Every structure is written in structure tokens, then in C-alpha cells.
Structure 1
Amino acid sequence: MSTTNKSSSLKKVMRFARPYRVRFNWVIVFAVSLSVFAAIRPYLLKQTVDQYIASKDAGGLLYYILLMTLVLLLEVASQFYFVYWANWLGQDIVKDIREKLFSHITAFRMKFFDNEPVGKLVTRTVFDIESIARIFSQGLFMIISDLLKMLVILGVMFYMNWKLTLIVLLAMPVLIYATRIFQQKMKGAFEEVRTQVANLNTFVQERLTGMKIVQLFNREDIEYEKFKEINQKHNDAWQKNILYNSIFFPIADIISSLTLGFIIWYGGISILNGDNMTTIGDLFAYTMLISMLFNPLRQIADKFNELQMGIIASDRVFELLESGQQVQDPGTIEAGHFKGELEFSNIRFSYIENEEVIKGINLKVNAGETIAIVGSTGAGKSTIINLLNRFYEISSGKITIDGTDINNFTLSSLRRQIGIVLQDVFLFADTILNNITLNNAEISREEVIAAAKAIGVHDFIMSLPGGYDYNVKERGVMLSSGQRQLIAFLRAYVSNPSILILDEATSSIDTYSEELIQNATEQITKGRTSIVIAHRLATIVNADKIIVMDKGRIVEEGRHYDLINREEGYYKNLYYSQFAVEGEG
């Protein structure tokens, strides 16, 4: 990352500190006071040795001991408030960034999620943002504090004995050079670590989510070997960090020890030769001062790396925040309850540029009608629904509801009026009630129970331990696929949508659940425009209209009995071929 990008990323992070300006200023105040109190202690020690121990003044010695104790307590208090407030500030800032990022991600186009691994997004939202907190807790403020401390200590050292201080300054370029080399090496190592962490998270996330497939196809050993390979790369990245630390810190300690030894030797010779400029108190004080000067300089490389790691993480986070992947919402009309008249006019759409999956479709659905869309896999059935909900933006053409272009409605109000039941129902690790209401406070428990009774699923829910308070666990694993479908039907019903979409909602379920779902379907489609994407054609024979799609086009349209009687009709062949397969089964 270039210096310009680093500066830019840090400035973006600092903008989030503006609401906490008072706390930010207090952290700086405590950093300054910490530096001053730390530098005063060695000077007081010098005075104690030279003026009171040498002259055997017990009263003066006690006074200075109490004074050093007071300064030490003030230093400890400054250290406490500095560390506490810096960490507090950092956590509040990352809380704000994480909330903004999560809100941002939830507004992204579906196309973004088609291309981005979930594990990578988890890394950005959790681990990378936590690294940003270290900019404040371990990086920026610590560096400011250490630099202030070094400047104050150097000032005190020059005031006490400029000759000894010059010896110290001769050693500092060597340590600064070693620090610079260490920082450069660690930069590349940290970048590699972040990359490998993202890869590891992505791999683990996908395998845990798809564990059933892993075990079903006996992939445990193969996936284990892949995991070992990725984990080894992660381990190798960290080994570089360990190696550089193992080399740098002993070198820094050697430089510090040699400098101290030379100071004691030179200072001792000066005292023995009668040099009044150097005193025994100086040697005592410099023993502390060299450590206090070199330790921050030695650790500042590590702090710079913490800062750099946080900046690298912030760069990744802001890349997401500034990606421009949100669904565009130019609409200004708040959608009320629709009559439900739909019209698709010459709709064209491509997931991948120049590879159309919807090719000039024209379709009109009257208010209150139930239409079914059928066709082979990949015909474009579900894509039609995705476009109606504006999960994807059409390439050309227009979709209207009650004569108004859907782009003119605000996105949230449009989606509130469209209820969807998907084939693959997603349930959160929460109660049945919360999975139905999705924590919408406007939907009461009583309304949910009344709705469940109306569509015939109340008895099924009450048969579960805890009824509506039964926790279905992650992804609803405690329920069968049919039971999850029933929850999805109830979820759609209580939202009282104007338009209802059933996307292959009755496929792959047991007979008992299918009967319940058929009853629920009859109830929730009453008085609503309904679109049923059907896999099992026997379930849509009573639809007002059947739309037959093939390769992104509408090839037939009509009622079941009209289509079934067409000679060599596409729907007829599809229907009887499926009937024959089910008969064989």
C-alpha cells in the first residue's frame, strides 16, 4: 500500500472519531502527562542520590522519596486513563464502523453475493474491523505517547548531562535503522497474514455450511487435506512474523545494553578523574533513562506494525464501504397496498454481460389472478421473480405494478408488498415466532396465532416443544423441509402482501406437509395476485394462467386444459414426461 493510500485510509478512520472529539483530546492530555511524569522520576532519583544520600540528609531523603512516590502514582493514574480511554475510544469507533458496514452490506445487489465468498465478508466485518480498533489501542496513540516520552526524556537527559546524552545519541541511529528494516519486513508479513486469514475463514465457512455434502460424498479426508494445506499457508505467514520478532528484539536489547555499559564506563571514568559535570546520581538516573528511551524506540516498530495492520484492515473495509454495490433506489413513491396488476414489457436481462437469460419477455397478469410459470431448469423462471423484487436490475424493458414502473417505488415499500415463499427456506437460530415475524414489533403474537389458525398450521406448531417459542436452531435444522415450508408460508401470510410469490414451494416435501401447504396456499392466495413457479405440474392445474418458458422466452401461455390439448405442445410434453416419471417412481 502506498503512503498516500495509508494516509487516506487513516483519515477515513479518523472521521469516525469526530463524535468522540472530547475523549480523543483527553487521551492526548493523558499521553502528555504520562511522558512528563515518566521523565521526572529519574531526575528526582539523581537529586536524591547527589543531594541527600551523599550528604546523609535523612529529612531531605524522606521528602524526595515521598515526592517520587507521588510522581509514580500520578504516572500510574495517567497510564491507566490513557490506556483505558484509548481502548474505549477504539471500541466505540469500530462499533460505528461495523454498524455502517453491516448496514451497507445488507443493501448490496444480489450479484455481489453471487461473486463474493461469505467467509471473506465475515473476515471484513469481524476480524478486519477488530484490527482497526488496534489503531487506537496499540498503534496511533501508543506511538504518539512513545514519541512524546522520548522527546521529554531526551530534553531531561540534555539538561542533566549533555556529554552522556551524546553517547546515547550515537547509538540511536543503529537502533533506528534496525527498527526501519524490521518495520518493512513486518509489513509484507502482516499483509500475507491477513490474506491467509481470509482464505482460512472462507474455506471453513463453506465446509461447515456444506457439511452434509462433505459427509454424503465421503469427502472428509479430501477436505481435511485441503484444510491442512490452507492452514499450513496460514502458519507459514505467522512464522515470518515470529522470525522477524525473534531477530529484532534481541538485537535491540544488545544495543541498549551496550549503550548502558558504555555510559557506566565513561561516566565512572569521568567521576574518578574528577569531572564535576558527571555525578553518581547521573549514572543512577541514566540507568533508568536509557531503558525508558530505548524501550519505546524498540517497541515503536511493533506499534507501527499494529498501526499498519489496522490501516491495511481499514483499507479492506473501506473498499467494501466504497464499492458502490448497493441496489440503486431512485424511487420516490411509497407503495401502498397494490391491486396487483403486473405487466412485463420487453424485458431483457443478463447475469453475465452478453449472455442473456431473459430474452424480450412480455407478460400481463391481471389483479387477483394466480399464474404459474413452468419450464425446464435454467429457463428463467426464478429470474423473473428476482427482477420483480429488484434483486437484479433489468438490462432493458419495463416492469409495472398497477401501471407504475417498479423503479418509481421506494425499494423498501415495494418489497413490503411482495411476499415470497422459496423452495430453500432459510430460518435463523431463533424461535418459531421470531422467524415468522422477523422481529417486526408491529406483528403481535396474537396476530401470528390467528394467522396460523387461518391457514391450518397452528396445530403443527403447537405439537412442537414450546410451541411458538421452540428454537429451530441454525438454518432450522430441527425442522423437516416440509415444516420449514409451513413456517415460510406463515411468514409470508402475516406480512399481508399485495402480491404473493411461491417459488417451487411444494417440491421435495412429504405427503402430509404437502396437504397442509396446499390448504395454506388456497388461503393465502385468496384475493391476491399470485405467481407460482412450479416444479410439480400437478400442483398448478387450477391456475388462472400458465406461462411456459424455455431458454429465456415465453413459448406457450394459457390454462392447463388448453395447453394439455395442444398437439406437440411444449407444456403437454413436459406434463406427460413428468407424469410418466412419477408413475415409474
Structure 2
Amino acid sequence: MKIIIKHHFWLFLINIFLTIVGSIGTLFFAYFFGKVIEFAISKDLQSFIFYIIVALLTTTIAIVSDYLSVLIQNKIIKEINQELRKKYYDKILSDQFNSNIDTGKFINNSSNKISQLEIFYYESVFSIFNGICFLILSIVMVIYYNWLIFIITTFFSILVFLVPFLTTKKSQKKIQISNQANDDFLQFSKDSVKSYWNYWSLNKTNKLKSDLMKISNNYEKENKINKNFQGLQVMLSTITIYLIQIILITLISFFLFKNIFTVAIVVTLSQVTSQYIQSFGIILNHFIKYLNLRKTNNEINEPYIKELENFTKTKVIDEKLDSIIFKNFTFKYDETTILDKINLKIINGDKVLILGKSGVGKSTLLKQLFYPRLFEEKSEIFINDMSCENYDIRKQAVYIDQDIFLSKDTIWNNITLANPEINKEEVDYYLNFLQLNHLIDRLEFGLETIILDNMQNLSGGERQRFAILRGLVAKKPWLFLDEVNSALDKKTSGLIMNYLLDKKAFTIIMVAHHIEKEHLIKFNKIIKL
């Protein structure tokens, strides 16, 4: 309730106003038709026609007010869902990289749990409030008439189910579209978690969050359309109920004209008490749902992962990166100490090789050098000879994985993610150098082709070359390379290794489990694990 009032106060006030107007319109509809009966008895035709018209006007006001109230509620809930997701993404996909994301929990919290909150929590809040408004007003009217109970129209209200049956086919189509949008959102959320490290290492987590919010907005849009259609069904059902009531009262009035029996204000009270009972049932039902979902609401609004205790601010390196020095550096992998209190200095232009068998922690060490805050092991760190506890070098360095995640976007936007201002001639040069131009040339739209399914049809070597391509396009002087040649043939690997190692402007920190002797001699520092 707090988030509704705090962030959507004016819309909430409008909803209150429409709810009260709709409730008053409904009650006045009953009252004016009571007057219709009264003048039918007295056979005052002019007054009878007048109150028929007034009753129809109040009915129209009630129906339109209720429908507009539903639209406003849907708008508020859509924005709340977006706010919850943004809040959740800011916590999980923060600029302080989090390596402990539970993929299943991430998807469940950002989709299923928020949907549960929408249906069983926030919608219940509105239903409870609307029911209470009508309940209070109807109680006042019933007390005014001394609580006469005569429910005539309730028996016929079952006819309201005709409306959903008549609109079933269209409703199913709306639901299908909404479900497809939900599936797309879930898949993209899953892919986003997989690509988090790639985006983070390229200093583009904001782009990742922006893309997530974009597809989330589409999901919420389709969801809102579906719910608006359901609201239309409710409106049509309401019209059906009122038409049935009009028919019944008109029929009773006909009998009054014929002096068969007399009915006065009973018709009014029959409608009011019938809806009073319905409102009470709605309040009770939604209050139970509200209580059941309080815990889920707290889970979404509470931080998903607590910040590390005694967290010290990370030093962001904007200027030229000349050196990184570790003193008393300890590296553990699977509870085993691999490096114990060593000193390591990497200066601009160095070519550093981390060599070892598979499974000894080479990639983990590389990530720790790229971003020490990921790990618990502490050491004295100096950036450009200045002491710091943690650092962020993404503006000067790029981390290139042995595989690449490609989001659902154009090939151009994927490979220029970290450097969207790069000119096409430079990209074409790298495409030719990495022998990827033939893959682009055979596509109808070339670099503007939209990537589907993360281009799973590419070979391992092609994917590695795309990873290298994106890293080179980033135009960063420090390159952290994680087994980037493991799936390349000897000739292609040699070509790329010579290019990287011969460039004096590049500082290379590379992980490999095997490397050719001709390339080994080009490294001036080797760490064996």
C-alpha cells in the first residue's frame, strides 16, 4: 500500500474519486428505479419517464467510472511492476559486480513473484478498497430504508456468465500474446544473467539494465492489454446485470400498471443488499490473498544480496593505467592455496602469461586480477604507485572471454557494445583480420542483421573470434585474455597471437593451458599454476 500512495498519489486519488462516483452511481441507480416503481404505481407517466432517463444516466456514470477506475489501476500496477524490477535489477546487476547470482531465483523474482504480487497483492488492495467504499455507502442506504431485504435480481445474475463465453476466443488470443511476451522476457532475463560478466567487464551494465527494462516494458504492455480486455469483459458483464435489472423492474412496473400486485421500494433494496453481499465476499476473498502475499512483497522489496561488510570504495581508474602492483598476494582455489604471499607487478606494455592445466583456477585468478573485490583474499594493491584496497580498471582494460554472449540486437550493436562511436572502416579491418567477413557477407542485412538464439549455429572458433573482435573494437590498452585461442586452429591462433603480442601498446594478461614456443618467448612474465 505504501508504494501505491508514495509513488502514485494523484492517480490513487483519481481512482478513489472514480470508485466513489461509481458506487454512488450504482446506489442512485437503485434509488431512482425505486422512484420509477413509485410513479408507476401512481401512474404518473411524466415522472415515470423522467426517472427512467435519470436512472439510465446514473447507470452510465457508474459503468464508465468503474471502467476508468480499472484502467487507472492497471496503469498504476504496470508502473509498480516496472519500479519493482528496476529496483531489483539495480540491486542484482549493480556496478559492483556480483558473482553469486542464483539464476533461478533471479528469473523467479523478476517474473513469477512480481506477477503473483500483481494478481494477489496489489490488485487485491484495490479490490478491498473498492469493496469497502461500496460497502459503506450501501450500508448507509440500507439503514435509511430500515434494512428491507428482497433480492429479486440475484437469481438472474447468472446470465452474466454469457459475456465471458461469447468473448472466449478473443480472450484466449490476448492471453496467448501475453504469455508469449512473458516467455520472451524470461528467456532474455536468463540470457542477461549469463552475459552479466561480459557487459560488466565492458563497463556497460547500464546498457544491460536498459535492455532488460525495454523488454520488461513490452511484457508489461502486453500484460496491460490483456488485463484491459478482461476489464472490458467485466464492464460488459456489468451492463448485462443492469439490463437484466431494467427488464425485471420494467416487467414489475407493467404488472403494477395492470394492478396485479404492488411493489414499492423493495426493488431498490433488493439491488443494494445483493451487491452488499457480493462486496463483502470480494473483500474477504482478496484480504486472504493480500495476507498470503505479504511475505513475497517483502522479499521483492528487501535487498536480494547484502553488501559485503566493511566495504571500502572502489578506486575507478580514469587516467592512463601505468602499473598494477600486488604485495603479499595470496590466491586460493577450491580451498587450496595456489599462490601464497607473492609479489606481482604488471606495468604498461607487459605481456603476462598465466599457464597451467585445466581446473587449477587460471580463469579465476585472471578475474581476480581484473577485479579484486570479487574475492575474499586481500593483499596490498597499488595502482600507478598509489595504494588502494580495490580498483575498477574497465575504462582502461577489457576482459575477453573464450566465448561470447550475443544479445537479441544487431551484429553491429553487439560487437561495438563497448565503443559505439567506432567507425565502420576499423570494424571492417578487424573482421577481415579475424576472417569473419565471409560470415557477414553471406547475411542479407550484413552487420544490421538481428541476432537470434545467441547465434548458436556458430562454431567454437567463430565464437572466439567474435569475442576477440568485440574486445579489440573496445580500443582499450590493457587486455585480459581468458583462453581466447583454445578453439582456434593453429594457423589462425598464430596469426592472432602474433598481432596481440607484437603490439607494444597492448598490455596482455593471458590465460592458457598450452602455448606454442614461438609465442611463449614473447611473454616477459609467466605465472605457472
Letter in 1 for 2:520: V
Structure 1 equivalent of residue 500 of structure 2:
521
Higher helix share: 1
2:451 and 2:498 map into 1 onto residues whose CA distance is: 23
Match of 1:428 among 384, 395, 407: 407
Structure 2 equivalent of residue 28 of structure 1:
16
Matched, 1:92 2:79: yes
RMSD: 3.3
Structure 1 equivalent of residue 42 of structure 2:
55
1:420 and 1:159 map into 2 onto residues whose CA distance is: 76
Say if 2:436 and 2:462, in contact at 8 Å, map to a contact too.
no
1:325 and 1:280 map into 2 onto residues whose CA distance is: 75
Say if 2:18 and 2:69, in contact at 8 Å, map to a contact too.
yes
Say if 2:91 and 2:305, in contact at 8 Å, map to a contact too.
no
Letter in 2 for 1:404: M
Deviation at 1:130, TM superposition (A): 2.8
Say if 1:349 and 1:394, in contact at 8 Å, map to a contact too.
no
The structure number with the bigger radius of gyration is 1
Change (3 A) 1:417 1:31: same
Matched, 1:459 2:427: no
1:32 and 1:325 map into 2 onto residues whose CA distance is: 49
Change (3 A) 1:205 1:429: closer
Structure 2 equivalent of residue 139 of structure 1:
124
Structure 2 equivalent of residue 289 of structure 1:
272
Say if 2:73 and 2:126, in contact at 8 Å, map to a contact too.
yes
Deviations 1:318-343 (A, max 9, x none): 2345643799571355422323x222
1:511 and 1:350 map into 2 onto residues whose CA distance is: 32
Matched, 1:392 2:380: no
Deviation at 1:87, TM superposition (A): 0.8
Say if 1:381 and 1:549, in contact at 8 Å, map to a contact too.
no
1:404 and 1:528 map into 2 onto residues whose CA distance is: 22
Deviation at 1:373, TM superposition (A): 0.9
Deviation at 1:424, TM superposition (A): 3.0
Deviations 1:66-103 (A, max 9, x none): 01001001101211111111111111121122122223
Deviations 1:408-427 (A, max 9, x none): 65x4xx21212122123322
Matched, 1:157 2:139: no
Identity of aligned residues (%): 23
1:389 and 1:444 map into 2 onto residues whose CA distance is: 28
Structure 2 equivalent of residue 83 of structure 1:
70
Structure 2 equivalent of residue 344 of structure 1:
326
1:91 and 1:439 map into 2 onto residues whose CA distance is: 32
2:370 and 2:504 map into 1 onto residues whose CA distance is: 21
Say if 1:346 and 1:397, in contact at 8 Å, map to a contact too.
yes
Match of 1:535 among 502, 508, 513: 513
1:484 and 1:58 map into 2 onto residues whose CA distance is: 84
**Range moving further from structure 2, 391-400 or 457-466:** 457-466
2:446 and 2:310 map into 1 onto residues whose CA distance is: 38
Change (3 A) 1:63 1:137: farther
Structure 2 equivalent of residue 558 of structure 1:
none
1:446 and 1:549 map into 2 onto residues whose CA distance is: 39
1:305 and 1:110 map into 2 onto residues whose CA distance is: 37
Change (3 A) 1:378 1:362: farther
Structure 1 equivalent of residue 352 of structure 2:
371
1:435-454 matches, cutoff 5 A: 435-438=414-417, 440-453=419-432
Deviation at 1:157, TM superposition (A): 0.5
Match of 1:45 among 9, 33, 38: 33
Letter in 1 for 2:282: Q
Deviations 1:336-394 (A, max 9, x none): 2323x222211235578x76565323212232011111123343322222222226144
| TM-score normalised by the chain length of structure 2 | 0.71
Say if 2:440 and 2:447, in contact at 8 Å, map to a contact too.
yes
SS at match of 1:111: coil
Deviation at 1:44, TM superposition (A): 1.8
Change (3 A) 1:520 1:149: farther
Structure 1 equivalent of residue 524 of structure 2:
545
Matched, 1:64 2:51: yes
Change (3 A) 1:428 1:304: same
Change (3 A) 1:389 1:93: same
SS at match of 2:522: coil
Deviation at 1:164, TM superposition (A): 4.8
Higher relative contact order (CA 8 A, sep 6+): 2
Letter in 1 for 2:301: F
| TM-score normalised by the chain length of structure 1 | 0.65
1:327 and 1:111 map into 2 onto residues whose CA distance is: 18
Deviations 1:145-202 (A, max 9, x none): 111101110110110124659xxxxxxxxxxxxxxxxxxxxxxxxxxxxxxxxxxx99
Structure 1 equivalent of residue 204 of structure 2:
none
Q: Which contiguous aligned blocks of 4+ residues in structure 1 show a shift greater than 6 angstroms?
A: none
The unaligned stretches of length 5 or more in structure 2 are 151-185, 195-261
SS at match of 2:379: strand
Say if 1:502 and 1:531, in contact at 8 Å, map to a contact too.
yes
Change (3 A) 1:325 1:429: farther
SS at match of 1:537: coil
Say if 1:472 and 1:478, in contact at 8 Å, map to a contact too.
no
Deviation at 1:548, TM superposition (A): 3.8
Structure 1 equivalent of residue 472 of structure 2:
493
Say if 1:371 and 1:543, in contact at 8 Å, map to a contact too.
no
Structure 2 equivalent of residue 564 of structure 1:
none
1:194-205 matches, cutoff 5 A: none
Deviations 1:514-560 (A, max 9, x none): 3453355346x53121111111132641233343434xxxxxxxxxx
1:108-507 matches, cutoff 5 A: 109-113=97-101, 116=102, 118-134=103-119, 138-162=123-147, 164=149, 280-308=263-291, 310-321=293-304, 323-324=306-307, 330-331=313-314, 333-339=316-322, 341-349=323-331, 356=337, 358-390=339-371, 392-405=374-387, 407=389, 409=391, 411=392, 414-438=393-417, 440-453=419-432, 455-457=433-435, 459-465=437-443, 466-507=445-486
Change (3 A) 1:140 1:444: farther
Change (3 A) 1:39 1:329: farther
1:351 and 1:490 map into 2 onto residues whose CA distance is: 30
Deviation at 1:313, TM superposition (A): 3.2
Change (3 A) 1:326 1:59: farther
Aligned residues: 421
Say if 1:343 and 1:401, in contact at 8 Å, map to a contact too.
yes
2:320 and 2:271 map into 1 onto residues whose CA distance is: 77
Letter in 1 for 2:130: S
SS at match of 2:345: strand
The unaligned stretches of length 5 or more in structure 1 are 1-9, 166-200, 210-278, 551-585
SS at match of 1:112: coil
SS at match of 2:325: strand
Deviation at 1:55, TM superposition (A): 1.0
Change (3 A) 1:86 1:462: closer
